Structure 1
Amino acid sequence: MVSTVQNTDVQQKDAEHAVVVAVTFHAVFDSGARTDDGVYEVGVAFPLLQALQKVNERLLEKNPAESLLFDVVLITTDSQQQQQSSHITSSTRHYGLEVSRFCFSSEEDFTESLLKNKVQLFLSTDSNEALQVSKKGILAALLGEYTASCPSEQLRVLFCGDAVIWPDAEPAPESRQAAQSFSAQLGEMRQRFGMFDSPLNIALLTSHGGRESCGSALLTLRSLGVSADEAYCLAGAPRSPMLTLLRPHFLVSCLDD
Protein backbone atom coordinates (compact mmCIF):
# COMPACT_ATOMS: atom_id res chain seq x y z
CA MET A 1 0.00 0.00 0.00
CA VAL A 2 1.43 3.35 -1.08
CA SER A 3 0.06 6.67 0.11
CA THR A 4 1.41 10.02 -1.11
CA VAL A 5 0.33 13.27 0.53
CA GLN A 6 1.08 16.69 -0.94
CA ASN A 7 2.56 19.28 1.37
CA THR A 8 0.21 22.26 1.17
CA ASP A 9 2.79 24.46 2.88
CA VAL A 10 4.95 24.65 -0.28
CA GLN A 11 4.28 25.42 -3.91
CA GLN A 12 4.27 22.26 -6.01
CA LYS A 13 6.87 21.94 -8.77
CA ASP A 14 6.30 21.43 -12.49
CA ALA A 15 6.04 17.65 -12.78
CA GLU A 16 7.28 17.65 -16.39
CA HIS A 17 10.56 19.45 -15.73
CA ALA A 18 11.45 19.13 -12.03
CA VAL A 19 14.21 16.83 -10.80
CA VAL A 20 12.53 14.54 -8.26
CA VAL A 21 14.73 13.61 -5.30
CA ALA A 22 13.49 11.14 -2.67
CA VAL A 23 15.10 11.15 0.77
CA THR A 24 14.30 8.66 3.52
CA PHE A 25 12.84 9.86 6.79
CA HIS A 26 15.61 8.25 8.83
CA ALA A 27 18.20 10.25 6.86
CA VAL A 28 16.46 13.59 7.39
CA PHE A 29 15.38 13.17 11.00
CA ASP A 30 16.50 11.36 14.12
CA SER A 31 13.38 9.44 15.11
CA GLY A 32 14.79 8.75 18.58
CA ALA A 33 15.22 12.39 19.55
CA ARG A 34 12.77 15.27 19.80
CA THR A 35 13.05 18.86 20.89
CA ASP A 36 10.99 20.43 23.67
CA ASP A 37 8.51 21.47 20.98
CA GLY A 38 7.94 17.83 20.03
CA VAL A 39 9.64 18.02 16.63
CA TYR A 40 12.30 15.56 15.53
CA GLU A 41 15.98 16.39 15.77
CA VAL A 42 17.64 16.72 12.38
CA GLY A 43 19.63 13.89 10.76
CA VAL A 44 22.60 13.69 8.40
CA ALA A 45 20.61 14.70 5.29
CA PHE A 46 19.48 18.03 6.76
CA PRO A 47 22.32 20.13 5.20
CA LEU A 48 21.64 18.40 1.88
CA LEU A 49 18.00 19.47 1.85
CA GLN A 50 19.02 23.02 2.72
CA ALA A 51 21.52 23.00 -0.14
CA LEU A 52 18.85 21.75 -2.58
CA GLN A 53 16.59 24.58 -1.46
CA LYS A 54 19.40 27.11 -1.94
CA VAL A 55 19.80 25.99 -5.57
CA ASN A 56 16.04 26.36 -6.10
CA GLU A 57 16.01 29.80 -4.51
CA ARG A 58 18.86 31.05 -6.69
CA LEU A 59 17.28 29.59 -9.84
CA LEU A 60 14.00 31.37 -9.08
CA GLU A 61 15.85 34.62 -8.34
CA LYS A 62 17.32 34.47 -11.85
CA ASN A 63 14.04 33.42 -13.46
CA PRO A 64 10.75 33.41 -11.47
CA ALA A 65 9.26 31.15 -14.16
CA GLU A 66 12.03 28.54 -13.85
CA SER A 67 10.70 24.97 -13.97
CA LEU A 68 13.99 23.03 -13.72
CA LEU A 69 13.97 22.76 -9.92
CA PHE A 70 14.60 20.10 -7.30
CA ASP A 71 11.37 18.47 -6.14
CA VAL A 72 11.86 16.73 -2.78
CA VAL A 73 9.86 13.71 -1.62
CA LEU A 74 10.21 12.44 1.96
CA ILE A 75 9.60 8.71 2.16
CA THR A 76 9.19 6.31 5.07
CA THR A 77 8.42 2.58 5.35
CA ASP A 78 8.29 2.60 9.15
CA SER A 79 4.70 1.82 10.21
CA GLN A 80 5.19 3.50 13.58
CA GLN A 81 6.36 6.71 11.90
CA GLN A 82 3.43 6.57 9.51
CA GLN A 83 1.05 6.49 12.47
CA GLN A 84 2.73 9.68 13.66
CA SER A 85 2.67 11.43 10.28
CA SER A 86 1.63 14.71 11.91
CA HIS A 87 5.00 14.83 13.69
CA ILE A 88 6.76 14.43 10.35
CA THR A 89 4.84 17.24 8.68
CA SER A 90 5.19 19.54 11.69
CA SER A 91 8.92 18.86 11.83
CA THR A 92 9.45 19.80 8.18
CA ARG A 93 7.40 22.95 8.78
CA HIS A 94 9.40 23.79 11.91
CA TYR A 95 12.72 23.64 10.05
CA GLY A 96 11.38 25.31 6.92
CA LEU A 97 12.15 22.30 4.71
CA GLU A 98 10.72 22.51 1.20
CA VAL A 99 9.34 18.98 0.98
CA SER A 100 6.71 18.74 -1.76
CA ARG A 101 5.28 15.33 -0.88
CA PHE A 102 5.24 12.80 1.94
CA CYS A 103 5.23 9.19 0.79
CA PHE A 104 4.17 6.40 3.15
CA SER A 105 4.86 2.89 1.95
CA SER A 106 5.36 -0.65 3.15
CA GLU A 107 8.76 -2.27 2.65
CA GLU A 108 7.23 -4.52 0.00
CA ASP A 109 5.94 -1.55 -2.03
CA PHE A 110 8.99 0.60 -1.38
CA THR A 111 10.44 0.69 -4.90
CA GLU A 112 6.94 0.92 -6.38
CA SER A 113 6.39 4.13 -4.43
CA LEU A 114 9.55 5.63 -5.96
CA LEU A 115 8.44 4.70 -9.47
CA LYS A 116 4.97 6.14 -8.89
CA ASN A 117 6.52 9.43 -7.80
CA LYS A 118 8.90 9.38 -10.82
CA VAL A 119 11.93 9.65 -8.55
CA GLN A 120 15.19 10.39 -10.38
CA LEU A 121 17.54 10.28 -7.38
CA PHE A 122 17.09 8.26 -4.20
CA LEU A 123 19.12 9.13 -1.11
CA SER A 124 19.42 6.95 1.99
CA THR A 125 21.75 6.04 4.82
CA ASP A 126 20.83 2.36 4.39
CA SER A 127 23.08 0.57 1.87
CA ASN A 128 20.54 -2.26 1.40
CA GLU A 129 17.83 0.25 0.44
CA ALA A 130 20.14 2.05 -1.96
CA LEU A 131 21.24 -1.17 -3.63
CA GLN A 132 17.65 -2.42 -3.93
CA VAL A 133 16.61 0.82 -5.60
CA SER A 134 19.63 0.82 -7.91
CA LYS A 135 18.74 -2.67 -9.16
CA LYS A 136 15.31 -1.33 -10.15
CA GLY A 137 16.90 1.22 -12.47
CA ILE A 138 16.68 4.27 -10.20
CA LEU A 139 19.81 6.28 -9.45
CA ALA A 140 20.66 5.85 -5.77
CA ALA A 141 23.32 7.46 -3.59
CA LEU A 142 24.37 6.49 -0.09
CA LEU A 143 24.62 9.17 2.57
CA GLY A 144 27.24 8.87 5.29
CA GLU A 145 28.12 10.57 8.54
CA TYR A 146 30.31 13.03 6.63
CA THR A 147 27.12 14.42 5.06
CA ALA A 148 26.19 16.16 8.32
CA SER A 149 29.27 18.39 8.05
CA CYS A 150 28.62 19.41 4.44
CA PRO A 151 27.90 23.08 3.67
CA SER A 152 24.23 24.04 3.44
CA GLU A 153 24.77 27.13 1.25
CA GLN A 154 26.14 25.19 -1.72
CA LEU A 155 25.15 21.80 -3.13
CA ARG A 156 28.34 19.81 -3.70
CA VAL A 157 28.07 16.79 -6.03
CA LEU A 158 31.06 14.52 -6.66
CA PHE A 159 31.28 12.37 -9.78
CA CYS A 160 33.58 9.39 -9.34
CA GLY A 161 35.07 8.55 -12.71
CA ASP A 162 36.16 5.04 -11.78
CA ALA A 163 34.20 4.43 -8.59
CA VAL A 164 32.63 1.05 -7.90
CA ILE A 165 29.49 2.19 -6.13
CA TRP A 166 28.01 -1.28 -5.76
CA PRO A 167 30.92 -3.79 -5.64
CA ASP A 168 28.70 -6.87 -5.73
CA ALA A 169 26.53 -5.90 -8.68
CA GLU A 170 26.98 -4.57 -12.18
CA PRO A 171 24.78 -1.52 -12.83
CA ALA A 172 21.65 -2.40 -14.77
CA PRO A 173 21.20 -0.68 -18.15
CA GLU A 174 18.21 1.20 -16.69
CA SER A 175 20.32 2.41 -13.78
CA ARG A 176 23.04 3.55 -16.17
CA GLN A 177 20.48 5.49 -18.19
CA ALA A 178 19.05 7.02 -15.01
CA ALA A 179 22.52 8.21 -13.98
CA GLN A 180 23.10 9.77 -17.39
CA SER A 181 19.69 11.47 -17.39
CA PHE A 182 20.19 12.90 -13.90
CA SER A 183 23.70 14.07 -14.81
CA ALA A 184 22.38 15.90 -17.87
CA GLN A 185 19.75 17.71 -15.80
CA LEU A 186 22.32 18.61 -13.16
CA GLY A 187 24.61 19.96 -15.88
CA GLU A 188 21.78 22.06 -17.27
CA MET A 189 21.15 23.49 -13.80
CA ARG A 190 24.84 24.34 -13.41
CA GLN A 191 24.79 26.21 -16.72
CA ARG A 192 22.20 28.58 -15.28
CA PHE A 193 24.92 30.08 -13.08
CA GLY A 194 28.23 31.78 -13.76
CA MET A 195 31.69 30.50 -12.97
CA PHE A 196 31.79 32.14 -9.54
CA ASP A 197 29.35 32.24 -6.62
CA SER A 198 27.31 29.27 -7.83
CA PRO A 199 25.02 27.44 -5.35
CA LEU A 200 25.88 24.23 -7.21
CA ASN A 201 29.40 22.81 -7.36
CA ILE A 202 30.28 19.78 -9.50
CA ALA A 203 33.58 17.99 -8.95
CA LEU A 204 35.17 14.97 -10.61
CA LEU A 205 37.48 12.50 -8.91
CA THR A 206 39.33 9.54 -10.44
CA SER A 207 40.98 7.15 -8.00
CA HIS A 208 43.12 5.16 -10.44
CA GLY A 209 45.09 5.84 -13.58
CA GLY A 210 46.77 9.05 -14.63
CA ARG A 211 45.74 12.13 -16.55
CA GLU A 212 44.34 10.02 -19.36
CA SER A 213 41.83 8.39 -17.02
CA CYS A 214 40.76 11.76 -15.63
CA GLY A 215 40.54 13.23 -19.12
CA SER A 216 38.36 10.36 -20.32
CA ALA A 217 35.99 10.87 -17.37
CA LEU A 218 35.81 14.60 -18.10
CA LEU A 219 34.90 13.85 -21.70
CA THR A 220 32.17 11.48 -20.53
CA LEU A 221 30.66 14.19 -18.36
CA ARG A 222 30.91 16.79 -21.10
CA SER A 223 29.11 14.46 -23.50
CA LEU A 224 26.22 14.58 -21.02
CA GLY A 225 26.32 18.37 -20.81
CA VAL A 226 28.15 18.48 -17.47
CA SER A 227 31.08 20.84 -16.97
CA ALA A 228 32.99 20.07 -13.78
CA ASP A 229 34.09 22.96 -11.57
CA GLU A 230 36.95 20.89 -10.18
CA ALA A 231 38.78 17.70 -11.20
CA TYR A 232 41.12 15.54 -9.13
CA CYS A 233 43.30 12.63 -10.22
CA LEU A 234 44.43 10.55 -7.23
CA ALA A 235 46.47 8.03 -9.26
CA GLY A 236 46.02 5.33 -6.62
CA ALA A 237 46.21 7.54 -3.53
CA PRO A 238 43.63 6.97 -0.74
CA ARG A 239 40.28 8.57 -1.46
CA SER A 240 39.14 9.29 2.12
CA PRO A 241 41.34 12.39 2.71
CA MET A 242 40.05 14.00 -0.48
CA LEU A 243 36.42 13.25 0.44
CA THR A 244 37.03 14.89 3.80
CA LEU A 245 38.41 17.95 2.03
CA LEU A 246 35.75 18.19 -0.68
CA ARG A 247 32.81 17.36 1.61
CA PRO A 248 30.37 16.33 -1.13
CA HIS A 249 26.71 15.89 -0.27
CA PHE A 250 26.61 12.71 -2.35
CA LEU A 251 28.59 10.73 -4.92
CA VAL A 252 27.51 9.74 -8.43
CA SER A 253 29.24 7.14 -10.56
CA CYS A 254 30.45 8.56 -13.87
CA LEU A 255 29.16 5.89 -16.28
CA ASP A 256 30.33 5.37 -19.84
CA ASP A 257 27.98 4.27 -22.60
Structure 2
Amino acid sequence: MVFTIQNTDVKQKDADRAVVVAITSRAVFESGAGDGDDVYGVGVAFQLLKALQRVNERLLEENPAESLLFDVVLITTDSQQQQQSSNIISSTRHYGLEISRFCFSSEEDFIESLQNNNVQLFLTTDKNEASQASQKGVLSALLDQQVALCPSDQLRVVFCGDAAIQPDTDTMLASRRAAQSFWAQLGEMQRRFSLNDSPLCFVLLTSHGGRESCVGSMLTLHSSGVSVDEAYCLAGAPRGPILSLLQPHFMLEE
Protein backbone atom coordinates (compact mmCIF):
# COMPACT_ATOMS: atom_id res chain seq x y z
CA MET A 1 0.00 0.00 0.00
CA VAL A 2 1.31 3.43 -1.02
CA PHE A 3 -0.25 6.82 -0.37
CA THR A 4 1.05 10.34 -0.87
CA ILE A 5 0.29 13.65 0.85
CA GLN A 6 1.11 16.89 -0.93
CA ASN A 7 2.69 19.58 1.23
CA THR A 8 0.43 22.60 0.82
CA ASP A 9 2.99 24.82 2.59
CA VAL A 10 5.39 24.49 -0.34
CA LYS A 11 4.98 25.70 -3.91
CA GLN A 12 4.98 22.60 -6.08
CA LYS A 13 7.74 22.26 -8.68
CA ASP A 14 7.36 21.87 -12.45
CA ALA A 15 6.93 18.13 -12.92
CA ASP A 16 8.56 18.22 -16.37
CA ARG A 17 11.70 20.06 -15.27
CA ALA A 18 12.28 19.39 -11.58
CA VAL A 19 14.99 17.03 -10.34
CA VAL A 20 13.16 14.68 -7.98
CA VAL A 21 15.16 13.57 -4.94
CA ALA A 22 13.63 11.12 -2.46
CA ILE A 23 14.99 10.84 1.09
CA THR A 24 13.86 8.40 3.77
CA SER A 25 12.28 10.00 6.81
CA ARG A 26 14.57 7.95 9.07
CA ALA A 27 17.51 9.85 7.57
CA VAL A 28 15.89 13.26 8.07
CA PHE A 29 14.29 12.86 11.51
CA GLU A 30 15.06 11.02 14.71
CA SER A 31 11.81 9.90 16.33
CA GLY A 32 11.21 11.04 19.89
CA ALA A 33 14.22 13.32 20.18
CA GLY A 34 12.91 16.74 19.26
CA ASP A 35 11.87 20.07 20.75
CA GLY A 36 8.36 19.00 21.62
CA ASP A 37 5.84 16.18 21.59
CA ASP A 38 5.01 16.72 17.92
CA VAL A 39 8.49 17.64 16.61
CA TYR A 40 11.23 15.12 15.84
CA GLY A 41 14.93 15.74 16.27
CA VAL A 42 17.02 16.16 13.13
CA GLY A 43 18.78 13.21 11.52
CA VAL A 44 21.88 12.76 9.41
CA ALA A 45 20.28 14.13 6.21
CA PHE A 46 19.19 17.46 7.70
CA GLN A 47 22.22 19.41 6.45
CA LEU A 48 21.85 17.74 3.04
CA LEU A 49 18.28 18.98 2.79
CA LYS A 50 19.35 22.49 3.70
CA ALA A 51 22.05 22.35 1.00
CA LEU A 52 19.47 21.29 -1.62
CA GLN A 53 17.28 24.19 -0.55
CA ARG A 54 20.22 26.55 -0.82
CA VAL A 55 20.77 25.50 -4.45
CA ASN A 56 17.09 26.17 -5.19
CA GLU A 57 17.30 29.59 -3.53
CA ARG A 58 20.34 30.55 -5.57
CA LEU A 59 18.76 29.32 -8.81
CA LEU A 60 15.68 31.45 -8.14
CA GLU A 61 17.87 34.44 -7.27
CA GLU A 62 19.50 34.10 -10.69
CA ASN A 63 16.15 33.62 -12.44
CA PRO A 64 12.80 33.92 -10.57
CA ALA A 65 11.16 31.91 -13.36
CA GLU A 66 13.64 29.01 -13.04
CA SER A 67 11.97 25.59 -13.26
CA LEU A 68 15.06 23.36 -13.01
CA LEU A 69 14.92 22.91 -9.24
CA PHE A 70 15.34 20.12 -6.72
CA ASP A 71 11.98 18.60 -5.80
CA VAL A 72 12.27 16.72 -2.50
CA VAL A 73 10.02 13.79 -1.57
CA LEU A 74 10.07 12.24 1.89
CA ILE A 75 9.65 8.45 1.90
CA THR A 76 8.42 6.75 5.07
CA THR A 77 8.44 2.95 5.43
CA ASP A 78 8.81 2.89 9.23
CA SER A 79 5.47 1.72 10.68
CA GLN A 80 5.91 3.74 13.87
CA GLN A 81 6.56 6.97 11.96
CA GLN A 82 3.64 6.23 9.65
CA GLN A 83 1.35 6.12 12.69
CA GLN A 84 2.72 9.55 13.59
CA SER A 85 2.52 11.10 10.12
CA SER A 86 1.29 14.39 11.59
CA ASN A 87 4.55 14.61 13.55
CA ILE A 88 6.56 14.29 10.34
CA ILE A 89 4.58 17.09 8.73
CA SER A 90 4.83 19.23 11.88
CA SER A 91 8.58 18.64 12.06
CA THR A 92 8.98 19.65 8.42
CA ARG A 93 7.12 22.90 9.10
CA HIS A 94 9.05 23.50 12.33
CA TYR A 95 12.45 23.30 10.63
CA GLY A 96 11.36 25.12 7.46
CA LEU A 97 12.18 22.19 5.18
CA GLU A 98 11.14 22.47 1.54
CA ILE A 99 9.59 19.03 1.10
CA SER A 100 6.98 18.81 -1.64
CA ARG A 101 5.39 15.44 -0.89
CA PHE A 102 5.19 12.86 1.87
CA CYS A 103 4.99 9.25 0.69
CA PHE A 104 4.00 6.43 3.04
CA SER A 105 4.43 2.80 2.07
CA SER A 106 5.31 -0.62 3.41
CA GLU A 107 8.90 -1.79 3.21
CA GLU A 108 7.83 -4.13 0.40
CA ASP A 109 6.24 -1.35 -1.68
CA PHE A 110 8.65 1.57 -1.32
CA ILE A 111 10.01 0.99 -4.85
CA GLU A 112 6.52 1.70 -6.14
CA SER A 113 6.53 5.06 -4.34
CA LEU A 114 9.86 5.93 -6.01
CA GLN A 115 8.54 4.99 -9.44
CA ASN A 116 5.20 6.79 -8.94
CA ASN A 117 7.05 10.01 -8.16
CA ASN A 118 9.59 9.67 -11.00
CA VAL A 119 12.44 9.80 -8.49
CA GLN A 120 15.84 10.47 -10.06
CA LEU A 121 17.92 10.08 -6.88
CA PHE A 122 17.09 8.04 -3.79
CA LEU A 123 18.98 8.71 -0.55
CA THR A 124 18.82 6.40 2.45
CA THR A 125 20.77 5.16 5.45
CA ASP A 126 19.67 1.58 4.75
CA LYS A 127 22.08 -0.39 2.54
CA ASN A 128 19.38 -2.91 1.61
CA GLU A 129 16.98 -0.16 0.46
CA ALA A 130 19.71 1.45 -1.64
CA SER A 131 20.51 -1.90 -3.25
CA GLN A 132 16.86 -2.68 -4.02
CA ALA A 133 16.33 0.72 -5.64
CA SER A 134 19.51 0.40 -7.72
CA GLN A 135 18.40 -3.00 -8.98
CA LYS A 136 15.21 -1.35 -10.26
CA GLY A 137 17.20 1.30 -12.12
CA VAL A 138 16.76 4.11 -9.58
CA LEU A 139 20.00 5.97 -8.88
CA SER A 140 20.71 5.57 -5.15
CA ALA A 141 23.24 6.73 -2.60
CA LEU A 142 23.90 5.56 0.93
CA LEU A 143 24.10 8.19 3.68
CA ASP A 144 26.15 7.84 6.85
CA GLN A 145 26.77 9.80 10.03
CA GLN A 146 29.44 11.90 8.30
CA VAL A 147 26.70 13.66 6.29
CA ALA A 148 25.41 15.32 9.48
CA LEU A 149 28.70 17.25 9.73
CA CYS A 150 28.63 18.61 6.18
CA PRO A 151 28.15 22.36 5.66
CA SER A 152 24.82 23.43 4.20
CA ASP A 153 25.93 26.50 2.21
CA GLN A 154 27.15 24.39 -0.73
CA LEU A 155 25.96 21.03 -2.05
CA ARG A 156 29.06 18.82 -2.32
CA VAL A 157 28.81 15.71 -4.51
CA VAL A 158 31.57 13.14 -5.00
CA PHE A 159 31.62 11.05 -8.17
CA CYS A 160 33.40 7.74 -7.67
CA GLY A 161 35.11 6.89 -10.95
CA ASP A 162 35.77 3.21 -10.19
CA ALA A 163 32.42 1.86 -11.35
CA ALA A 164 33.68 1.81 -14.93
CA ILE A 165 35.80 -1.26 -14.14
CA GLN A 166 32.74 -3.27 -13.07
CA PRO A 167 31.09 -5.76 -15.49
CA ASP A 168 28.20 -4.45 -17.60
CA THR A 169 25.25 -6.49 -16.32
CA ASP A 170 21.70 -5.43 -17.22
CA THR A 171 21.32 -3.97 -13.72
CA MET A 172 24.54 -2.02 -14.05
CA LEU A 173 23.52 -0.64 -17.44
CA ALA A 174 20.12 0.48 -16.14
CA SER A 175 21.76 2.16 -13.14
CA ARG A 176 24.33 3.83 -15.38
CA ARG A 177 21.65 5.26 -17.66
CA ALA A 178 19.84 6.65 -14.62
CA ALA A 179 23.12 8.11 -13.35
CA GLN A 180 23.98 9.78 -16.64
CA SER A 181 20.53 11.37 -16.84
CA PHE A 182 20.93 12.75 -13.33
CA TRP A 183 24.47 13.99 -14.04
CA ALA A 184 23.18 15.89 -17.07
CA GLN A 185 20.66 17.71 -14.89
CA LEU A 186 23.31 18.54 -12.30
CA GLY A 187 25.54 19.85 -15.08
CA GLU A 188 22.74 22.05 -16.38
CA MET A 189 22.25 23.48 -12.90
CA GLN A 190 26.00 24.02 -12.58
CA ARG A 191 26.09 26.11 -15.74
CA ARG A 192 23.68 28.61 -14.19
CA PHE A 193 26.49 29.86 -11.93
CA SER A 194 29.96 31.30 -12.23
CA LEU A 195 32.91 29.12 -11.24
CA ASN A 196 33.76 31.26 -8.21
CA ASP A 197 30.25 31.62 -6.80
CA SER A 198 28.44 28.32 -7.14
CA PRO A 199 26.27 26.53 -4.55
CA LEU A 200 27.34 23.26 -6.22
CA CYS A 201 30.70 21.55 -5.89
CA PHE A 202 31.53 18.39 -7.86
CA VAL A 203 34.51 16.23 -6.94
CA LEU A 204 35.88 13.24 -8.85
CA LEU A 205 37.52 10.47 -6.84
CA THR A 206 39.21 7.39 -8.31
CA SER A 207 40.48 4.75 -5.89
CA HIS A 208 42.13 2.46 -8.46
CA GLY A 209 44.24 2.96 -11.57
CA GLY A 210 46.49 5.84 -12.41
CA ARG A 211 46.21 9.24 -14.04
CA GLU A 212 44.72 7.80 -17.24
CA SER A 213 41.83 6.26 -15.29
CA CYS A 214 41.11 9.57 -13.58
CA VAL A 215 41.23 11.49 -16.87
CA GLY A 216 38.93 8.92 -18.52
CA SER A 217 36.36 9.31 -15.73
CA MET A 218 36.62 13.09 -15.99
CA LEU A 219 35.91 12.94 -19.71
CA THR A 220 32.92 10.66 -19.09
CA LEU A 221 31.43 13.19 -16.71
CA HIS A 222 32.24 16.06 -19.07
CA SER A 223 30.39 14.27 -21.88
CA SER A 224 27.31 14.30 -19.63
CA GLY A 225 27.68 18.02 -19.00
CA VAL A 226 29.36 17.93 -15.59
CA SER A 227 32.50 19.99 -14.98
CA VAL A 228 34.61 18.71 -12.10
CA ASP A 229 35.77 21.27 -9.53
CA GLU A 230 38.31 18.94 -7.90
CA ALA A 231 39.80 15.56 -8.84
CA TYR A 232 41.74 13.05 -6.74
CA CYS A 233 43.50 9.91 -7.96
CA LEU A 234 44.20 7.68 -4.94
CA ALA A 235 45.93 4.85 -6.86
CA GLY A 236 44.94 2.23 -4.30
CA ALA A 237 45.16 4.35 -1.15
CA PRO A 238 42.16 4.22 1.24
CA ARG A 239 39.57 6.88 0.47
CA GLY A 240 38.33 7.38 4.04
CA PRO A 241 40.83 10.13 4.96
CA ILE A 242 40.17 12.23 1.85
CA LEU A 243 36.40 11.84 2.21
CA SER A 244 36.58 13.11 5.79
CA LEU A 245 38.29 16.24 4.44
CA LEU A 246 36.01 16.70 1.42
CA GLN A 247 32.82 16.26 3.50
CA PRO A 248 30.51 15.33 0.60
CA HIS A 249 26.77 15.20 1.14
CA PHE A 250 26.60 12.02 -0.94
CA MET A 251 28.70 9.96 -3.32
CA LEU A 252 27.62 8.75 -6.76
CA GLU A 253 29.14 5.91 -8.73
CA GLU A 254 30.50 7.01 -12.11
Q: What's the TM-score, normalizing by structure 2?
A: 0.96
May I ask how many residue pairs the two structures share in their alignment? 253
Mapped contact 1:163–1:207 kept (Cα < 8 A): no
2:226 counterpart of 1:222:
no
| Mean Cα deviation higher: 45-54 or 35-44 | 35-44
1:24 paired residue number: 24
Q: State how far apart, in whole Å, the 1-side matches of 2:244 and 2:95 are.
A: 27
Taking a change above 3 Å as real, the CA distance of residues 72 and 103 of structure 1, as seen in their structure-2 partners, is same
Taking a change above 3 Å as real, the CA distance of residues 236 and 170 of structure 1, as seen in their structure-2 partners, is farther
Q: 1:241 Cα shift?
A: 0.5
- Matched letter for residue 71 of structure 1: D
Mapped contact 2:34–2:42 kept (Cα < 8 A): no
Question: SS of 2:159's equivalent?
Answer: strand
Q: 1:108 Cα shift?
A: 1.8
2:34 paired residue number: 34
Spell out the pairing of 1:153-168 with structure 2 (5 A cutoff): 153-163=153-163
In structure 1, list runs of 5 or more residues that go unmatched: none
Q: For each residue in 1:174-196, what CA deviation from the matched residue of structure 2 results, as whole angstroms up to 9, or x when unmatched? A: 21110110011011111111011
Q: For each residue in 1:121-149, what CA deviation from the matched residue of structure 2 results, as whole angstroms up to 9, or x when unmatched? A: 00000000000100000000000111000
Question: SS of 2:61's equivalent?
Answer: helix
Spell out the pairing of 1:160-199 with structure 2 (5 A cutoff): 160-163=160-163, 171-199=171-199
2:231 counterpart of 1:242:
no
Mapped contact 2:204–2:231 kept (Cα < 8 A): yes
Mapped contact 2:20–2:118 kept (Cα < 8 A): yes
Q: 1:36 Cα shift?
A: 3.1
Q: 1:170 Cα shift?
A: 7.7
Q: State how far apart, in whole Å, the 2-side matches of 1:83 and 1:29 are.
A: 15
Q: 1:172 Cα shift?
A: 3.1
Mapped contact 1:72–1:101 kept (Cα < 8 A): yes
- Matched letter for residue 231 of structure 1: A
Question: SS of 1:86's equivalent?
Answer: helix
- Matched letter for residue 137 of structure 1: G
Identity rate, percent = 71
2:10 counterpart of 1:5:
no
Q: State how far apart, in whole Å, the 2-side matches of 1:251 and 1:163 are.
A: 12
Q: 1:32 Cα shift?
A: 3.7
Q: State how far apart, in whole Å, the 2-side matches of 1:34 and 1:143 are.
A: 21
Spell out the pairing of 1:112-123 with structure 2 (5 A cutoff): 112-123=112-123
Q: State how far apart, in whole Å, the 2-side matches of 1:76 and 1:58 are.
A: 29
2:51 paired residue number: 51
Q: For each residue in 1:91-150, what CA deviation from the matched residue of structure 2 results, as whole angstroms up to 9, or x when unmatched? A: 000000000000011112110110000000000000000001000000000001110001
Mapped contact 2:136–2:171 kept (Cα < 8 A): no
Q: Over aligned residue pairs, what C-alpha RMSD do you find?
A: 1.7
- Matched letter for residue 4 of structure 2: T
In structure 2, list runs of 5 or more residues that go unmatched: none
2:134 counterpart of 1:134:
yes
Q: 1:163 Cα shift?
A: 4.7
